[in-house]
Structures are given as structure tokens and as C-alpha cells.
Structure 1
Amino acid sequence: MMSRHPVCLALAAALAVAGCAPRIEAPEFAVERTAPYQLASGDKLRVIVFGQDNLSNIYAVDGSGRISMPLIGAVEAQGRSTQQLERAIEARLRAGYLREPKVSVEVDAYRPFFVLGEVTNSGQFPFVNGMTMQTAVAIAGGFTPRGQRNYAEVTRLMDGQLVTGTVPITYPVRPGDTIVIKERWF
């Protein structure tokens, strides 16, 4: 007759290990999936003012969250969508410079993202549209042998605040994200 002691011990160990695994949830990020992209420092923008070649150029969002354009000076870009920035530039140009300005703003280069923790090459990397956490890890040279392969911790700027959450490895990356791959225990 088989002893129940080893079976109970194995069951207790399995429950203990399962209790150590983090719950993968990030409800604070759920709303942001559908929200328009918000500009921030490090983004490079292609601004086209139709009929005004001397104003059309690529502008970088500086550390204070602004772009600086000829004639109108600094325009706040931080936290705005490209459409909101278009309207702000049009309003500034309309106030004494152009009669009916038409402006187009698109992101020329997104701000970089960062990967830290149990990856081969931690660091800063250029953002590519459609990336997932797993793609970001691949860009960082892959997992180390101890890297947790099922989830990642991500810190993201949302509404002017840094928010950190645990997400599945298939979760989408946004520009400016800081991804941390934790060490696994087993």
C-alpha cells in the first residue's frame, strides 16, 4: 500500500509554488489600449504646414515636452495626440501669421523603450510599431537562463504619472516603456 505522505507533500509543494507565481493583471493598462498615442519627450515629429515649406520640418519633443517652431516658438506637445498638436499649431499660426493654416503632424520616430533584468543585453532600444514584450526581449538578445518567460513588469507614463504593472509576455509595448524581466525561481 502506497503511503499518502509523499503525495500530500508533493501537493503541498505544488500549491506553495503556485502561490508564489504573480497574478498577471494590469487593469490600469486596459484603458490605454484604445486611447490615442500621447506624445512625450524623445519623440520626433514630422510637421507639415501646407504651402509653407520654411515651417515644415522634423521637430524633436524636448525634455520639457515642447517643440520649437519658427515664428510661433515653443508649442506644448507633452500629453497631446498628434491631432491635438495639429490644432494647437494651427491656432498659433492663425493668431497673426497665416490666414487659414493647414497643419499635419505625424510621428517620424518614437521615443525608445528600455529593457532591464534577466535579458542578455539590457539597455535602450528604438521602438517598432506592433511590438510585444516578447519581441522587446528578443531585441535585447533574449532571456538569460534564469529569466521569467511568462510575464514582464512594465512601467509606463500614463496621464503624467508613472504606473507599474505585471503583464503577460504577449502584451503590447508602447514607446517609452521600461520593461523588467524578473528572475524565475525554478
Structure 2
Amino acid sequence: MNRRHVIRALGQGIGLTALAVAMVGCAGNDAPLETANVGQISEYRLGAGDALRVIVFGEEQLSGEFRVDGTGKVAMPLIGEVSAKDRSTRDLEKEISTRLAAGYVKEPKVSVEVLNHRPFFILGEVRNPGQYQYVNGMTALSAVAMAGGYTYRAKEDYVLITRGADPKKEIRRAPITTSVMPDDVVRVPERYF
């Protein structure tokens, strides 16, 4: 629905609720296509809320389970806060190793693994919309399955997705085979016929 249609609808006295419903119905068709597919999604990037296990081999007192805080940092023994936001686990391993090697541990060997990922969100025409725990390798179709499947009104050939990593939070139309990442919002649109 373009600006001219909105102005005409307001001029004809259509209620705001009806206008909002009409605009939501059109959002799926007007949304730009998602360009990334399953093979193009990059390595998992850490963010606030991720639970991590950090192992410094041979140094039990420096190892443990840590959570990425709201500012995107992990508080580590001896070296203090380490920035984890938007980094891979390999990047974080290198950063921790470098900082430990600077006067604390001789030739540190560090391993970082994600224990619990941040959630993703699914809305619209699914049986149980809400927040769900991210699982590696997820697609929009597996997200729908986690949410109990489609309702009878669901449009099943694509989803609308807002990427958590997108600073513009643009809604994009994507095939059901598209990858889902933590913080993404997936919406299954309603079919009208």
C-alpha cells in the first residue's frame, strides 16, 4: 500500500484499525527479498545473553562458565572484562589468550564454547508464537516446527524476517529455507484466500 492509497483511505473515512490491517496484509508482498541463504550466513556471533564455557587448559581457577552481559562483555578472572559482542568464539579465544599471555599465563591454550544461545522470536500464523532457544543450523521452517507448526490461515511459502543484527531492523521476505539466527524475529503471514 503506497502513500497515495493511505491518503485516499484516510480521506474516505476508513478507520485506523482497518487501515492498519490493510497495511499489515500488504507488508508481505512489498517487503524486500532476503538476499542471504543458508550457505551465506556467517559464523555465529556472540551477543548479550549468551552463556559460555571458557577453558584455560592447565588453569582450572581461570576456567568456568560465563555469561555475556548487557554491554556485550565477559568478566574474566585476572584480565577483567573482555568484549565478546559480534565476535566469533575463535576471536574470543584469541583475545583471551593474548591478554593472559601478557604477564599472567605462559603460552595459554584457551577454548570457548557456547552453552546456551540467545533466543529468536516467532510471530504470526503459528500455533505457539513466542520466544524460543536458538539451535545451530536453524531454518525458518524448523522455527515454525518449534512453534507448533502452521495455523490453518498461514501462508506457507515464505516468512517475513527481521534480522537482529540489522541496525535498520528492516522486514524482509524470505523463503522458508532461510537461516534463522539469534535475536531474529520471524513472522508467518496470514493468507487471505
Q: TM-score range by the shorter chain?
A: 0.7 to 0.9
Show structure 1 runs of 5+ residues with no match.
1-19
**Cα deviations across residues 116-150 of structure 1 (Å, max 9, x unaligned)?**
11111111111222222111111111212211111
Aligned pairs for 1:1-186 (under 5 A) are 22=29, 25-27=33-35, 29-30=36-37, 33-158=40-165, 162-186=169-193
Instruction: State which structure, 1 or 2, has the greater radius of gyration over its C-alpha atoms.
Output: 1
RMSD of equivalent CA atoms: 2.2
How far is the alpha carbon of 1:40 from its aligned partner? 0.9
How many residues are paired up?
166
Distance 2:84 2:152 in 1: 41
Identity %: 49
Distance 2:100 2:166 in 1: 27
Distance 2:41 2:144 in 1: 24
Aligned partners of 1:153 and 1:181 also within 8 Å: yes
User: Which AA in structure 2 matches 1:25?
Assistant: L
Greater mean alpha carbon deviation, residues 174-183 or residues 81-90: 174-183
CA 1:159/1:166 → structure 2, altered by over 3 Å: closer, same or farther? closer
Aligned partners of 1:157 and 1:163 also within 8 Å: no
**Cα deviations across residues 24-50 of structure 1 (Å, max 9, x unaligned)?**
7312x3598252221111211111101
- Give the TM-score taking structure 1 as reference length: 0.80
- Give the TM-score taking structure 2 as reference length: 0.77
Distance 1:126 1:37 in 2: 14
CA 1:127/1:48 → structure 2, altered by over 3 Å: closer, same or farther? same
**Cα deviations across residues 66-117 of structure 1 (Å, max 9, x unaligned)?**
1111111111000111111111111221222112211111212211111111
Runs of 4 or more above 6 Å deviation = none
Show structure 2 runs of 5+ residues with no match.
1-25
Distance 2:149 2:180 in 1: 16
